[in-house]
Amino acid sequence: MWIILLAVLILFILWNTSLMGYRDRNVEPLEVDESKVCCEEARSIIYQQGSKTAILLVHGFPSTPSVYHYSAKRFANEGMDVYAPLLPGFGTDPKAFSHTSFTQWFSYLCTYYENLRASYDTLHVLGISMGGMMTLKLGETYCPTELAPDSLTSIAAPVVYNSIKDWVFTDPKQYLARTLALFTASIKPHVVNGDPKGEDGSEHWYGYGGTFVRPGLSLVSAMREVRRNLDRITCPLFSIHDKGDRTVPFKNLAIIAQENKSTDFHMLETEMGHFNHSRHALLLYRSIQEELTTTILEFLHDKENHHAQA
């Protein structure tokens, strides 16, 4: 009997930690209704000025396009058309968001990307956190095709969550999420309309608060495939991460650097001062956003020059 109990225990642990057999339950296409946004800051940021060059900015989890309120203007001032779309489920109703999945968010983003790719001579993609992970996945999906982006920029992108092999432990409690998801989709979901106790720009973070068990499980599961396919990224890639990131472990940058196959790869390790924020959504912070945006623009202009000479 004890052998059977031990076997069941081992299978239970593996079922939770390896996510073997996991599949998103919610996969039907979603649309975005911005008439239902939780606050004005959650809306998509779009600057169209008839340029032949565009940049797609992808927000994180459970954030909104507001993280790009500074950089979007800078990119537009450099002559680019700018698109920072609100992804479906985000920035509206956190309880409804609890029943959405990475499959749905990324499917929407792919359609959005393909429409932009058909409209611009040059198209760059940049993402922060989950948006950075999605940027990498867009590269894996489109770099080998005629719809390839002209460049990718990932900031604080996670490609591994908890891993004994890589000695990366973002949150050990995630190992219980699959069991918890059987009973609840989220815990105390609510809207966050800025953080009055924030500093250095972090007070301008808008999105959701609470614990999103099922969406979070979907996101963590998707990381496995993104990491597995990093060798499909052959487009120019610029990966950025802060050494003191409190949300996504800094070791993710080394994994991306080692496993992507871009022949035009660049990386930047930032090291912020002592601030009472997570050092994660880097383009949100006043202390670094100007310099970092300038560095990213230099990378983008270099890719545009190569594109013009080709």
CB atoms within 10 A of CB 286: 13
Above 70 in pLDDT, residue 308?
A: no
pLDDT at 91 over 70: yes
In one-letter notation, the amino acid at residue 241 is H
Fold annotation for 41-309: Rossmann fold (3.40.50)
Q: Comparing 150-159, 196-205, 233-242, 287-296, which segment has the lowest mean pLDDT?
A: 196-205
pLDDT over threshold 60, residue 309:
no
Over residues 228-241, the mean pLDDT reads: 98
pTM over 0.75: yes
The confidence band for 143, taking pLDDT boundaries of 50, 70 and 90, is very high
Q: Residue 195 — pLDDT band, cuts 50, 70, 90?
A: confident
pLDDT tens figures, 238-278: 999 999 999 999 999 999 999 999 999 999 999 998 898 99
109-140: per-residue pLDDT in tens? 999 999 999 999 999 999 999 999 999 999 99
Residue 130 phi, psi (nearest 5): -55, -35
Cβ atoms 28, 49 nearer than 8 A: no
Q: Residue 121 pairs with which residues in a beta bridge? A: none
Average pLDDT, the chain: 95
Can you tell me the distance from the alpha carbon of 63 to that of 247, in angstroms, rounded to the nearest whole number? Answer: 13
Confirm if 125 and 148 have CB atoms less than 8 A apart: no
157: burial class by Cβ within 10 Å (0-12, 13-18, 19+)? Answer: buried
What average pLDDT does range 76-93 have in this prediction? 98
